[in-house]
């Protein structure tokens, strides 16, 4: 992505040929991303990385009463939409 900022600052004729500018910008972005991936996976040395958790993970706890109430409310809302569409087509 650093190449994109350099490409924007160079003398690439953007105003005269927008299609060519866009094509070149996409090509450079793709090739830059591909180079980074290739460097990551083509190395012959094995790198072991350790991960440490920086914060405690949150775990939600919801009561069964709230879940059932939510499902009933959504079911009734859907039924009211069906009733409204039936009555609007009849009347």
Let me know: does 44 contact 37? Beta carbons within 8 Å. no
Q: Which of 60, 55, 3 is nearest to 30 (CA)?
A: 3
Mean pLDDT of 62-86: 93
The predicted-structure confidence for 17-55, as pLDDT tens digits, reads as follows 778 878 877 887 787 777 777 666 666 666 677 777 777
Domain ranges of the chain: 2-41
Q: Which residues contact 8 (CB under 8 A, 6 or more apart)?
A: 25
């Amino acid at each position: 992505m650093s190449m994109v900022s350099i490409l924007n600052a160079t003398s690439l004729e953007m105003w005269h040929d927008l299609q060519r500018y866009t094509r070149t910008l996409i090509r450079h972005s793709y090739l830059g991303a591909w180079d980074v991936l290739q460097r990551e996976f083509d190395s012959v040395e094995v790198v072991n990385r350790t991960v440490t958790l920086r914060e405690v993970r949150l775990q939600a706890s919801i009561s069964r009463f709230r879940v059932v109430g939510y499902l009933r409310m959504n079911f009734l809302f859907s039924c009211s939409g069906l009733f409204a569409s039936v009555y609007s087509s009849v009347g």
